[in-house]
Amino acid sequence: MLLFVLDPYFFAAERAQEFPHRAQFLLESLKALHDNIAHLGSRLFVVAGRSVEVVPEVARQVGAKRVLAQSWTEPFGRERDRRVGEALAGHDVAFELFDGETMAPPASLRTGQGEPFRVFTPFSRAFAREIRVAPPLPAPRALPGCDAELDTVPIPTLASLGIAHNPRLVVGGERAARQRLREFLDGPADAYHHDRDRMDRPGTSRLSADLKFGTLSARSVWSAVQSKATGTEWQRSYLNELVWREFSHALLWDRPSLLTEPFRPAWQKFPFLSPTDPVGQRRWQAWCDGRTGFPVVDASARQLLQEGFVHNRARMISASVLTKDLLIDYRRGEAHYLHWLVDGDWAQNNAGWQWATGCGCDAQPYFRIFNPTSQGERFDPDGDYVRRWVPELAALPARWIHAPHNAPSDVLSKAGVRIGTDYPAPIVDHAEARNLFLRVAKTALG
DNA sequence: TGAAATGTTGGGGCG
DNA sequence: ACGCCCCAACATTTC
């Protein structure tokens, strides 16, 4: 029989509004799983409660001799797995964990000194040298049934959680995931290496939520890409991103404290603006709402709220602006992203934010500061990404769309944009903010 | 998986 | 023809 536990640790009904997009994706995926296995001779049993209590209880009720589960690698999932195993052992039930969240177990690779890697490039070399990614297992042809009367719950509806359905999210479930993979491989894949940074093009695979929830395993994606091509540039480039994902999971596995503390100790006392600082509050609100006056940043903020997804390049630019231009603690941005992202994953999200801030493992140096205008001009050259998410700027020509406050007044009036009324002036002057950050960082980081 | 400041070079306008 | 200057284009250094 197939059991899914709605554990309040990651799915508390009364707190589901804190992760509305992931709740939607998860429930859709559960429903799809339920429907997809109907012909296998059993069904999906959903129970609610703490895994450490309900799993042994279900095992007792059905007389199970063994329980199989995929391990979770982030700290609390890991602890949960440990406790469930302990509880089951007390009932003489075998507990077999298998890996699947990552392509190789997160502690697989070590440096010559036996230490966890701190730098991506050597990690990726070791991965290429030592890891043979196993092809995914075939789907089961049948599932053993279950006669016991179990205390199951129906798959919750979004409405019962007080969440409105968002039609703009990627659709959950394995079938939808496989279709996304197919569309990527048949479409933008072979231009991936040069289109992946283009915020205005559908150049990426959009599989992040599938990888997070397991509607597609990283191994499935790896194998599909491997069998599609050999030695091409797009393939190398894409597989490299999967190795980055692997690296991020490994980092958190070895250093659970990363969820609360920066990797680089020098950053622990970095003088970000206090959450109670009125200037900081204004900046924070503007960044969240998408009205900083930096079009790409505002586009990404609105895409996040509406689609639960942000293009990776836009994530990096927005993180750079929040931490460096606005001097706001990366952990607040990290939490905001985790709230809204459909692909919100503790390991990936944390690694991304620490990297962009410059406080992480193998992060970019603190003085590498993105210019939101020139980034926009480079990676959204026609301005279509901005036009899509910041419609009040849609009539501006590409020449000015990334710096509307600098546009000549006749251009602005022709486009129907009044700076300060229809669209804000930049909340900070980037050049000044950059200099200030460099000074602050130099002092704080030595 | 930066950007800005600074340095170098070379073409062309001009006295 | 020549030197001078300007500046674009590119390279290097710095943060």
Number of domains in chain A: 3
Residue A347 belongs to some domain of the structure: yes
Are A246 and A270 members of one domain? no
Q: Say yes or no: A237 and A303 in one domain.
A: no
* Same-domain check for residues A116 and A231: yes
Last residue in a domain, options A219, A254, A289:
A254
Taking 90 as the threshold, does the pLDDT of residue A160 lie above it? yes
* Cα–Cα distance measured from residue A78 to residue A88, given in angstroms and rounded to the nearest whole number: 15
Q: Do A297 and A416 lie in a common domain?
A: yes
Name the one residue in this structure whose structure tokens are 């769309």: A401
Q: What is the pLDDT of residue A363?
A: 86
Nearest to A83 by CA among A59, A105, A53: A53
DSSP class of A65: S
Domain shared by A329 and A246, yes or no: no
Distance CA A242, CA A250 (A): 12
Hey, CA dihedral for A110, A354, A390, A380, is it positive or negative? negative
Q: CA A348, CA A144: separation in Å to the nearest integer?
A: 36
A98 CB neighbours strand C below 7 A: no
Which residue type does A119 have?
V
CATH number, domain with residue A338: 1.10.579.10
Expressed as residue numbers, the domain containing A77 is 2-98
The answer to whether strand C lies under 7 Å from the CB of residue A367 is: yes
Average pLDDT score, chain A: 96
Of A254, A276, A302, the one marking the end of a domain is A254
Provide the CA A399 to C1' B12 distance, Å, integer.
Answer: 29
Q: Is the CB of A435 under 7 A from strand C?
A: no
CATH of the domain at A66: 3.40.50.620
- Cα–Cα distances in Å, from A135 out to A62, A100, A103, A295, A443? 32, 11, 10, 43, 50
Predicted pLDDT at A145: 84
Determine whether the distance from the CB of A399 to the nearest atom of strand C is below 7 Å: no
- Please report which confidence band the pLDDT of residue A38 belongs to, taking 50, 70 and 90 as the band edges: confident
Residues A245-291: tens digit of each pLDDT: 999 999 999 999 999 999 999 999 999 999 999 999 999 999 999 99
pLDDT digits (tens, 9 = 90+) for A352-391: 999 999 999 988 899 999 999 999 999 999 999 999 999 9
Residues 347-406 of A with CB under 7 A from strand B: 364, 367-371, 374-375, 378
Average pLDDT over residues A21-36: 97
Both A222 and A284 in one domain: the answer is: no
According to the model, what pLDDT value does residue A230 have? 86
pLDDT for the residue numbered A147: 83
For A195-234, give one letter per residue: b (16+ CB within 10 A) or e: bbbbbbbebbbbbbbbbbbbbbbbbbbbbbbeebeeeeeb
A227 lies in the same domain as A310: no
Model confidence at A148, pLDDT cuts 50, 70, 90, reads confident
Question: What is the C-alpha to C-alpha distance for residues A48 and A230, in angstroms, rounded to an integer?
Answer: 45
Please report where in the chains the tokens 């599609």 appear, as a residue: A228
**pLDDT of residue A33 exceeding 90:** yes
DSSP track, A109-158: ---TTSPPP-SHHHHHHHHHHH--PPPPPPPPS------S-----PPPPT
Asked whether residue A193, judged by its CB, lies under 7 Å from any atom of the DNA or RNA strand B, the reply is no
